[in-house]
Structure 1
Amino acid sequence: MSSPETPPPVPPSPPQRHGCATAFMVLFGMVLLLPGLCAILFGVGIMADQRPDPATISMVVLGLLVGFAGIMLIREAIRGPRR
């Protein structure tokens, strides 16, 4: 005699993020993109200079890093939570 087969257990779904949190993440990410855009425009202007100041270059790099953080925040908001 064979026993009836039981279906395999269904894995739990990942926790859902509220829509408001996703919207705030996207908005804050867009705000963080602005310093990155300014850094790109300002950096192109600096490259035309013969000898750019190291402090100015570090500010451009800092602006690019903030813009990158904005891109990653928007990407994470769109992807949703992982397991």
Structure 2
Amino acid sequence: CLRLTTFGRSESDLAQSLDTLQLPPGVTMGYRSSMPIIELKLTGPASEEQAMEKLWLDVKRVAGQSVIFEGTEGLPAQISRELQ
């Protein structure tokens, strides 16, 4: 799965913006909200990996400047790495 974490936009705002994207068969977009932080997760079958990677570029574009990091590490690990 592909994950990114955003800050400052509501789940409904992100969902409305991302709703226009066409998801490949069997692929789902998930949201986990802990306002003001929203995690976006794109999951699907391995057979759709290339389509998901292409779609992920659009997801990141739509999320825009609200993206604070990508991946599964978590905020504390990201901050620690940036401070080193």
- Do both proteins adopt the same fold according to a TM-score greater than 0.5, normalized to the shorter chain? no
Q: TM-score range by the shorter chain?
A: under 0.3
**TM-score, length basis structure 2:** 0.27
Instruction: State the structure with bigger RCO (CA 8 A, min sep 6), 1 or 2.
Output: 1
**TM-score, length basis structure 1:** 0.27
**Which structure is larger by alpha-carbon Rg, 1 or 2?**
1
Which has a greater percent of strand?
Answer: 2
